[in-house]
Amino acid sequence: MTQANVAPALRIRGLSKTYKNGVEALKGIDLDVPEGEFFGLLGPNGAGKSTTIGVVTSLINRSGGAIEVFGVDTEQDLEGAKRLIGVVPQELNINQFEQPLQIVAQQAGYYGVPWREARERAGECLRWMGLWDKRGVMARSLSGGMKRRLMIARALVHGPRLLILDEPTAGVDIEIRRATWDLLQEINAAGTTIILTTHYLEEAEALCRRIAIIDGGCIVQDTDTRSLLAQLAIETFVLDPHEPLAAAPPIDGYEARLRDDGSFEVEVARSSSINELFSALDGAGIQVRSMRNKANRLEELFLRLVDNAGGDGVVS
């Protein structure tokens, strides 16, 4: 078995980046992304997500540390490592005055694919992304969602083993976002390792099997999504009573908070059963019409982790 077969898709060790203005964007981060993974890199604005992606894809010069892509050291063989990576950046970076078929075929050419084969592959990628009908129009005339899909097609045309997407659904409507999710899951199922950065935490929860959270240039969490969510010791539920309440109801063993619309919130420890809450509600004579999580679970955990970076690992 060769080294490339056992090596993770991405291995980062001690990666640091200090910009010329003195901002220390990355403070020696370590990260491993196993092959075949759907990996989420989350963090607030300015946390270092895009810098990490930029350094891995060589768009940003690193200050220190090491990066390996499927065992290929980017310091030793940058061109070899680049062949394994496809990138979809956060900002639109397509030539607005070229046609999608040209854009994607040229990208294949940059990876050494002969022109005839490049056009064939570009056609396949455009069909996959549902853009074949738009292959001959100017890229600037495409909708925002189509431009995003064009960038994904461009990133896939050379057959990368690792696809890196930096906020791929930023600013697109919910329909396009859901369609992009389906597409990314399809790409991952086809064997491509995916690293995704996103602001939409429900996106990370829905797609990623493993998540790292970066804050202030440091990785504060790096684990599988299920274990990460298990760290959330308390969940807050919103309950809608049959009749709007005027005051927070007394519930034995729980503290309820009234909301403006007459519903109320209850915090439930993950160690306890929801049935216990309903028993208490029955005891208090409160009939509940529906209930829901107050916030996306990952969002709640994320905010608590970022606020309490360096804590004991259990987030309440």
Partner 1 sequence: MQRVLRIWPQTLLPPVITTSLYFVIFGPVLGERIGEMEGFNYLQFVTPGLIMMAVLTNSYQNVVSSLFGAKFQSHIEEMLVSPMSAHAILLGFAIGGVFRGLVIGAIVAAVSVAFVDLPIAHPLWTILVGVATSIAFAFGGFINAMVARNFDDVSIVPTFVLTPLTMLGGVFYSVELLGEPWRTVSYCNPILYMVNAFRHSILGSSDLPISVAGGVLGLFIVGFYTVAIIMLRRGVGIRS
Q: Which stretch binds partner 1 (CB under 8 A): 2-10, 53-61, 266-274, 297-305?
A: 53-61
Partners of 38 in beta bridges: 194
Does 263 participate in binding partner 1 (rule CB under 8 A)?
A: no
Return the range that interacts with partner 1 (CB under 8 A); candidates 110-118, 169-177, 183-191, 237-245: 110-118
Q: Is 83 in the site for partner 1 (CB under 8 A)?
A: yes
Q: Do the beta carbons of residue 180 and residue 170 sit within 8 Å?
A: no
Among 76, 96, 143, 227, binds partner 1 (CB under 8 A): 96
Q: How far is the CB of 80 from partner 1 (least distance, A)?
A: 7
CB of 119 to partner 1, least distance (A): 14
Binding flag, residue 206, partner 1 (CB under 8 A): no
Strands (E), the chain: 10-18, 24-33, 38-42, 64-69, 72-73, 85-88, 162-166, 193-197, 210-215, 218-224, 234-241, 256-258, 264-269, 288-293
Give yes or no for residue 287 binding partner 1 (CB under 8 A): no
Residue from 49, 82, 121, 135 in contact with partner 1 (CB under 8 A): 82
CB 67 within 8 A of CB 29: no
Nearer to partner 1, 118 or 301 (CB): 118
- 4: Cβ contacts below 8 Å, ≥ 6 apart: 70, 71, 72
Instruction: Note whether 198 binds partner 1 by CB under 8 A.
Output: no
| Total residues found in the chain within this entry | 316
Query: In whole angstroms, how close is the CB of 99 to partner 1 at the nearest point?
Result: 11
Q: Are 58 and 52 in contact (CB under 8 A)?
A: no
Q: Which stretch binds partner 1 (CB under 8 A): 75-83, 245-253, 261-269, 278-286?
A: 75-83
131 binds partner 1 (CB under 8 A): no
- Report the run of H or E that residue 146 belongs to, with start and end: helix 144-156
Provide, rounded to whole angstroms, the least separation between the CB of residue 139 and partner 1: 10
Residues 17-36 close enough to bind partner 1 by CB under 8 A? 19
CA distance 108 to 51: 25
User: Is residue 308 involved in binding partner 1 (CB under 8 A)?
Assistant: no
Alpha carbons 157 and 139: distance in angstroms, whole number: 17
CA dihedral 174, 180, 181, 187 (to 10 degrees): 180
Least distance CB 155 / partner 1 (angstroms): 9
Residue from 106, 231, 236, 296 that binds partner 1 (CB under 8 A)? 106
Of these, 13, 27, 44, 58, which contacts partner 1 (CB under 8 A)? 58
Number of residues binding to partner 1, judged by CB under 8 A: 27
Of residues 147-166, which lie at the interface with partner 1 (CB under 8 A)? 154
Of 90 and 231, CB closest to partner 1:
90
In angstroms, rounded to a whole number, what is the distance separating the alpha carbons of residues 123 and 102? 10
Q: Could you tell me the maximum CA-CA distance found in the chain, to the nearest angstrom?
A: 74
Bridge partners (DSSP) listed for residue 293: 237
Among 2, 5, 45, 61, binds partner 1 (CB under 8 A): 61
Q: Are 55 and 17 in contact (CB under 8 A)?
A: yes
Minimum CB distance to partner 1, residue 82 (Å): 4
* Tokens standing for residue 240: 């809608």
45 near partner 1 (CB under 8 A)? no
Give the three-state DSSP class for 315: strand
Residues lying near partner 1 in the complex (CB under 8 A) are found at 19, 54, 57-61, 78-80, 82-83, 85, 87, 89, 91-96, 106-107, 110-112, 154
